[in-house]
Each structure stands twice: as C-alpha cells, then as structure tokens.
C-alpha cells in the first residue's frame, strides 16, 4: 500500500489486513502505479482514495450509501461517494439527491456538495471502485476494486449492528447478496441520475425511513443538514 502512499484508519486496517495482502490487491496497486508512471491522471488523489474509511471508522458505521465509481472530472472526487469538494458545481445525481432530501425531510438545499458531515456521523460513502482515470468513467471497474469492496460490505454486514444500506440503481443492488437482510435494513431505489431519478428515486423517502429505523433501534439518527 505504501506504493500509493495510502493511509487507512486503524479499525479498517485491522479488519482488512488480509485483503490488502492478497495477490489481487497487490496487482491492483501495481496497476494504478503503472498508469501514473505512464502519465495518466487518476482520481481522486492518492491521499483521498480511502477518505470514506478515514472519515467513518468501522465501529461508527450506521448507514452505507453505495456509488459506482468516483467522479471523473477535475477537482470533483475526494473519496466519498456522490460527494464533491466545496466550490465545485453539483453533478446531476447529487442535485437529485439534494432535491429528494429536501422533499423527504425538509432539509434546506445545501450551499455546497461536500458530504463530509454525513461521513463524520456514520454515513459510509463507499464507491464500488475507489479510483478512475480522468474523463473515463468505469475505467477501473475491472482491476480488482469490486473484489475489495465486496469484502468491505461483507465486513460491515458481519461486524456492525443494524446498518441501513441505501442501494440506488441496479449496480448497487447487485451487492445485496453480500448483506444479511435479517439483521440490516436494505433500501432500494433507482439511481439518482437524471436518466432514472424520476422512475422512483424521487419520492423514495429513504432519508426519513433511515432515521426512523435508526431511532427505533436506539441509534442516534443522522442530521442530514449539510454544514
């Protein structure tokens, strides 16, 4: 992992230690390293690849929002699914997330798209692939990240109590088999992309449903207000 200059929060490092040492993960790291040596631009920057893990330790996970891969435009991706750094225009999917959040909970439409305040409360913002080549969506979807993030989802399912999994779109919903549905709440809706948001994402009510489940199980609900 040192080849990518990645640091991972201790609780995650402990449970994923075996994963980091498996041949596929070493190959994955070497693949990214080679692309960088070839002058290819990779998002997010190395220090942000594991941002979701560093902001949300394993024992703090209450909610999982699963995305596909990082944004592939300049200065957008910073290691949290659907989130963009402050000062960056909201991508269409994020706009639809905020519109549904406002409709569902009355939360004011945010001034920025950095979801770090969610992550710090226990919303684990995981992408199925943690890296992408600039301007090439899904370009790292076949290099081993799916194996790794499947292991992450299974770990959360096994080790965490009463987690809400928000699975938006077919891609995310394919991960459902890694989750113990007798233990956790699985919420499914179409992807918030403009192509599918009006087929059921708008009106899904996931944010209020999530907080109702958490409160019912004695877990502090999420303050969805972006601060």
* H/E run at residue 125: strand 123-127
CB of 79 closer than 8 Å to CB of 49: yes
69 is annotated as an active-site residue: yes
Question: What is the rounded end-to-end Cα distance, in angstroms, of the chain?
Answer: 33
CB of 225 closer than 8 Å to CB of 108: yes
DSSP, res 136: B
Of 185, 202, 59, 178, give the one whose Cα is nearest residue 124: 59
Whether the bond into 43 is cis, omega within 30 of 0 = no
- In 3-state terms, what secondary structure has residue 86? coil
Catalytic residue among 59, 69, 180, 220: 69
- In 3-state terms, what secondary structure has residue 159? helix
- Residues catalogued as catalytic: 69
């Amino acid at each position: 992992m040192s080849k990518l200059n990645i640091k991972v929060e201790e609780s995650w490092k402990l449970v994923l230690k075996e994963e980091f040492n498996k041949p596929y993960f070493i190959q994955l790291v070497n693949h990214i390293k080679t692309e960088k040596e070839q002058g290819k631009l990779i998002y997010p920057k190395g220090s942000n690849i594991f941002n979701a893990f560093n902001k949300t330790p394993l024992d703090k996970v209450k909610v999982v929002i699963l995305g596909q891969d990082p944004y592939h435009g300049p200065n957008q991706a910073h290691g949290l699914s659907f989130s963009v750094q402050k000062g960056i225009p909201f991508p269409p999917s994020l706009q639809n997330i905020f519109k549904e959040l406002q409709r569902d909970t009355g939360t004011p439409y945010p001034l920025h798209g950095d979801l770090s305040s969610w992550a710090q409360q226990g919303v684990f913002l995981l992408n199925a692939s943690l890296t992408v080549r600039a301007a090439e969506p899904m370009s790292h979807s076949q290099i081993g990240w799916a194996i790794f993030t499947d292991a992450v989802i299974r770990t959360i399912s096994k080790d965490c109590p009463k987690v809400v999994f928000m699975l938006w779109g077919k891609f995310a919903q394919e991960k459902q088999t890694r989750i113990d549905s007798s233990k956790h709440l699985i919420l499914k809706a179409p992807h918030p992309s403009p192509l599918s948001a009006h087929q059921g994402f708008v009106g899904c009510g996931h944010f209020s449903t999530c907080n109702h489940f958490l409160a019912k199980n004695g877990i502090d609900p999420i303050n969805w207000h972006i601060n």
